[in-house]
Amino acid sequence: MGKITGFMEFERIEEGYKPVGERVKNYKEFVIGLDEAQAKVQGARCMDCGTPFCNNGCPVNNIIPDFNELVYQGDWKNAIDVLHSTNNFPEFTGRICPAPCEAACTLNVADDAVGIKSIEHAIIDRAWQEGWVKPRPAAHKTGKKVAVVGSGPAGMAAAQQLARVGHDVTLFEKNDRIGGLLRYGIPDFKMEKSHIDRRAEQLVAEGVTIRTGVMVGELPAGSKVTNWSQETISPKQLQKDFDAVLLTGGSEQSRDLNVPGRDLAGIHFAMEFLPQQNKVNAGDKLKDQLRADGKHVIVIGGGDTGSDCVGTSNRHGAKSVTQFEVMPQPPEEENRPLTWPYWPLKLRTSSSHEEGCTREFAISTQEFIGEKGKVTGLKTVEVEFKDGKLVNVPGTEKTYPADMVFLAMGFVNPVATILDAFGVEKDNRGNAKATTDFTGGYATNVPKVFAAGDMRRGQSLVVWAIREGRQAARSIDEFLMGTSDLPR
């Protein structure tokens, strides 16, 4: 693949970033993608490795060696066709996927992996520029109606696949714009929302009906889940009006931290904070937006959501930003022969960390402290593993100042009341119970009700959501028609 000796001749080229001082002044994307010549060099590095582990490392099974070769040969038109054959939205994954394909790259055993994600990014951006991304409406209608509840990447992928084989698809979203957590979770500086808007236009041109501001079922009283709906539809009504229903809502129930002082003002879930900024960026006005200007900010949780809080707080003009992670600091480099081709545990520094952030590892919050009902600090202690458990280290207690705290410790499950309203059986993690079997996959215990994405597998990656949406679409098509030509 590519140039036979390319992996020995050329070094990996990373995508560039605009300077920190420039990018923190706005919420625009700041990644500088590869130009045509750079992408060709990266494609040349792809090895003729015989067994391309990258294909299986990629959850949507992108045909990576093929599009690498096509970019190397300058055949960008066929490259986007190959990429779209497995991935409905490469502009999403090319921006925010952590690239497990690169961890699985054979070259990664002893060298730097092929820049697969950057090549994918270059291909789809070139395709939009050249006008190659066009609607693909079905030639014939089946007369079958499908409701897709939740318009994140799983719902969008499923809706597109089902519409393309002729079903009448209605995509429901409780918030005012489609995209799910892509829209109101991922900051604009990581992915501008114009990318979602273009795909929404494509979906409509392919026959998908989009209904925003519609809540299917009800949220529990006092829920902190983002909900800007204007109307409500009952699950029973959907089951009556449609031949199949696919549940693709996100795993939106945030993990809480129930320690003394949790009720103090100034302590918020990350998903109270991030959606507000995205909504403001879209031109909407909010009366009481959560702002970090001039504040000491503590972010509890060391993952991507926590990193997004860091980047947003820096753009607000926070006085200081500190991120806590309860697990020990991982090694800066993994043992590649030991971990390859699997996703390695290693220290990952995001662009938001580089913009200004103190990172604390192996630390546990014991108590929130405050004055006049408002948080002013946190009491912490260092932790270590002992007999397989995390235990406090005596004598390491410390107090950190904090004017605002964001809880970004992940998500535990979808909103239970939604699944309960449909009567869907849940697994032991609170997700919709459904298999991924080739036949009958993604079907729940309720007739003609299916589940995919975070709703079924729990908190996960955008690339897994796209995969599950595509596979669920095939199962629904087979359920409705007896057979399906959709790819799995």
Domain positions in the chain: 6-130, 145-253+412-481, 256-409
**CATH superfamily of the 256-409 domain:** FAD/NAD(P)-binding domain (3.50.50.60)
In this structure, the number of other CB atoms found within 10 A of the CB of residue 194 comes to 11
Are 345 and 330 in contact by the 8 Å Cβ rule? The answer is yes
Q: Does domain 6-130 have CATH number 1.20.120.160?
A: no
- 219 residue type, one letter: L
Q: In the β-sheet with 449-451, what is the strand arrangement from edge to edge?
A: 209-212, 168-173, 145-149, 244-247, 449-451
User: What torsion, rounded to 10 degrees, do the Cα atoms 359, 362, 368, 371 define?
Assistant: -40
User: What is the total residue count of the chain?
Assistant: 488
| Integer CA distances (angstroms), 375 to 135, 154, 181, 264, 418, in order | 51, 38, 28, 5, 33
Pairing of β 374-386 and β 398-401: antiparallel
Each of the 488 residues of the chain gets a pLDDT tens digit; together they read 568 899 999 999 999 999 999 999 999 999 999 999 999 999 999 988 888 999 999 999 999 999 999 999 999 999 999 999 999 999 999 999 999 999 999 999 989 999 999 999 999 999 999 999 999 999 999 999 999 999 999 999 999 999 999 999 999 999 999 999 999 999 999 999 999 999 999 999 999 999 999 999 999 988 999 999 999 999 999 999 999 999 999 999 999 999 999 999 999 999 999 999 999 999 999 999 999 999 999 999 999 999 999 999 999 999 999 999 999 999 999 999 899 999 999 999 999 999 999 999 999 999 999 999 999 999 999 999 999 999 999 999 999 999 999 999 999 999 999 999 999 999 999 999 999 999 999 999 999 999 999 999 999 999 999 999 999 999 999 999 999 999 98
pLDDT of 10: 95
Estimate the share of the chain in helix, then strand, then coil, as percent rounded to the nearest 5. Answer: 35, 20, 45
Q: pTM for the whole thing?
A: 0.96
Domain pair 6-130 / 145-253+412-481, same fold:
no
| Second-level CATH architecture of 145-253+412-481 | 3-Layer(bba) Sandwich (3.50)
Confidence at residue 1, expressed as pLDDT on a 0 to 100 scale: 59
Residue among 313, 306, 393 nearest 380 (CA): 393
Q: Is the dihedral of CA 35, 40, 44, 46 positive or negative?
A: positive
Cα 391 to Cα 410: distance, rounded to the nearest angstrom: 21
Question: Strands 404-407, 267-269: parallel, antiparallel or unpaired by DSSP?
Answer: parallel
E runs forming strands in 90-233: 145-149, 168-173, 209-212, 214-216, 231-233
Kindly state the tokens that stand for 374.
């408002």
